[in-house]
Amino acid sequence: MLHFQVKMFTKELELVRGSVEKDEKDELEGTETAIRDLEKQLKQKEWELTDEKNMNRAKVAELEAEMEQIRSLMSKSQERFEHKHAELDRYAREKEQARGGVLGKILMGECRWDSETLNLYQTTFMSFLQPYSRLDTKNPYPIPD
């Protein structure tokens, strides 16, 4: 009977060992599968990160190109504004000079008119006073001939 018990214990031990080995093997396979899944996920995340970096670089390049285009447009607009402003300044100076010239001509015309008028008044007044040039000092108001 002892022999029979030893045989049963041996068989039980083999079954337990087989069960443990099978459990360990299943657990190892599960761990390896989990590792492979995690490695796949890691690769996927690396690809996503690389894609995201590339998209960001492309977006930055696009925004820089757009910014350069806007700077160019602003520069051209600034140049046009300065050119138009210079033209307006030149036009205003020319207009002011022309107005000054016209005003000068008007004033010169008035001055000439005033001197002509003065000459006419002097001539008229002198011709009017000529008969009285031989005044008698005793009679300041003589009667003309």
- DSSP letter string, 84-117: HHHHHHHHHHHHHHHHHHHHHHHHHHHHHHHHHH
121/95 Cα distance (integer angstroms) = 38
Q: Looking at residue 18, what is its pLDDT?
A: 77
- Give the angle 81-87-93 at the CA atoms, nearest 5°: 135
Q: Does residue 39 register a pLDDT over 60?
A: yes
* 78 has pLDDT over 80: yes
Map out the domains of the chain as residue ranges.
Answer: 14-115
Distance between CA atoms of residues 13 and 40, nearest Å: 40
The model's pTM is 0.45
Residue 64 clears pLDDT 70, i.e. is over it: yes
Q: In whole angstroms, how far apart are CA 116 and each of 44, 53, 125?
A: 106, 92, 14
* pLDDT for res 21: 79
Q: What is the mean pLDDT of the chain?
A: 81
**Which pair of structure tokens corresponds to residue 124?**
């008229």
